[in-house]
Amino acid sequence: MNRLFYLSLTIIAISCSQSRKPVEIKELDLSVLIVDTLYLEKDTLTKELGSDFTYFETDSGSVLMTFRERRLLFYSFPDGKLIKTQSFEREGPNGIGGFVTGNFIDTNSIYFLSQQKELIKADFNGTVIQRWKFPEIPTERLYHNFSTYLFNKIRKSGDKLYFTDVPFVFKESFAEYEKWGIIFDTKKELFDHFYFRYPKDVLQYTDDDQLGLFSHTLNINTNEHLVSFSISDSLLQIKDGKQTWHYAGTLEKLQFLKGKTSQQGEYTVFNPNHESSKYEALDIDTHSKKILRTVRIKGPTLENPDQKKYKLLVLNPDFSREAELFFNTNEMGSYGFNTPKGYVVQLHTRTTDDLVSYAVLDFSKINP
């Protein structure tokens, strides 16, 4: 009787495993997802526009806004006309400083990370409304770098701003440090932290100014932080104080190649290995709800500067992998901004002195 029972369980298990189809991860060219092209005007004072725009609905229509070269630029959407610009002062009562490491455009104001000293709130007319000194850092941190570098946009949910303290290089003494995430409550005017630690594998890449980086984003719909480390195939999810790792790697074989340091007088010079693999940008497409993660499979060498290979990894909200999209960084980017029409990235080959071109991507086309 027992033998028949166990035999039945075995047959059921085999049947179930056979009925499960292996997950297909599609490999496509990113360009096949382009559904529209956006053209934005440049004036004579604009060198470049980049890909850091914020979309707003207003009483007079849809607009895009960006802060470039100490100016706030307003565009009509989707026709891309430059509506107006607003310059900001460097010094004085309305000065935002000469070294601004990040900004966040809100509905009626703009916040600046200034001089590594303070958070500044200003209005759209260039007037500073308020200033808050950054909190002191623990001695084990050595220094802070409150910045949106490299792919760490400031995020806002409710009354709270979220930004990061990104180390220039990872030191062994940082292994137990966890105050990398900064929270500022705009109502209570208080600073706090969201906490996470680097994966232990990073200890193999100390003093490397590329492989010690991370990219952070906030999923406003689920109120969860996601962190991508340069040397980790997995993403870190932080939700309600709980930390969970999810595999989010590529089908490609990666090689993380540590750089070297050299001494020039009293200064240490960091020389990364540009041929190394590394995970880079992390973002969420609000149109399709997909998680987007950029990976450099292989970088250029001195002998072969054109040798580079990139992919954009697309994951579903449950972190299941859906697709790997090839793209040429000389032709288009993979890190951009959200609009109701889709996720928007720059088209490098179609930019002129007067216009900057962007591709509108629809990631829902991967599995229609």
What is the number of domains present in the chain? 1
**Considering the domain boundaries, does residue 65 fall inside one?**
yes
> Which residues, other chains included, contact 313 with Cβ-Cβ below 8 Å and sequence gap of 6+?
248, 249, 250, 292, 293, 294, 295, 321, 323, 324, 325
Kindly state whether residue 12 falls inside one of the protein's structural domains. no
* Cα-to-chain-centroid distance, residue 154: 10
Residue 364 and residue 326: Cα distance in Å, rounded? 17
Instruction: Dump the DSSP string for 5-46.
Output: HHHHHHHHHHHHHHHSPPPP-EEEEGGGGEEEEEEEE--TT-
What is the DSSP annotation of 36-92? EEEEEE--TT-S--TT--EEEEETTEEEEEEEETTEEEEEETTT--EEEEEE-BSSS
Q: How many Å apart are CA 75 and CA 46, to the nearest integer?
A: 14
Query: Under a CB-based contact definition with an 8 Å cutoff, are residues 337 and 54 in contact?
Result: yes
Q: Is residue 15 part of a domain?
A: no
Round to whole Å and give the CA distance between 356 and 345: 11
CA distance linking residue 241 with residue 192, whole number of Å:
13
Would you give the DSSP letter of residue 136? P
* Phi, psi angles (nearest 5°) of residue 205: -125, 35
Neighbours of 40 (CB within 10 A): 24
250 φ/ψ sector (left φ>0, alpha ψ -120 to 50, else beta): beta
Which tokens is 234 given? 């997995």
Contact residues for 253 (Cβ-Cβ < 8 A; gap 6+): none
Contact present, 295 and 235 (Cβ < 8 Å): no
Are the CB atoms for 193 and 158 separated by under 8 Å? no
Residues 6+ apart with CB under 8 A from 158: none
At residue 18, the pLDDT reads 42
Residue 7 lies in a domain: no
Q: Would you say residue 258 lies in a domain? A: yes
Gap between the Cα atoms of 103 and 53, Å rounded: 11
CATH (domain of 168): 2.120.10.30
CA distance 159 to 188: 9
- pLDDT at site 22: 55
Instruction: Please report the pLDDT score of residue 305 as a whole number.
Output: 81
Task: Give pLDDT < 50 ranges for the chain.
Answer: 1-21
Residue type present at position 234: S
Query: In whole angstroms, what is the distance from residue 333 CA to residue 148 CA?
Result: 18
What tokens appear for 265 in the block?
A: 């007088």
Q: Which domain holds residue 239?
A: 24-365
Q: What is the dihedral of CA 32, 216, 73, 187, to 10 degrees?
A: 140
Residue 126 within a domain: yes
Residue whose token pair is 């009354």: 159
Any domain includes 219: yes
Q: Residues 184, 134: contact at Cβ < 8 Å?
A: no
pLDDT for residue 10? 47
Residue 23 confidence (pLDDT): 66
pTM of the model as a whole: 0.92
Q: Model confidence over 304-357: pLDDT tens digits?
A: 888 899 999 999 999 999 999 999 999 999 999 999 999 999 999 878 889 999
Residue 14 lies in a domain: no
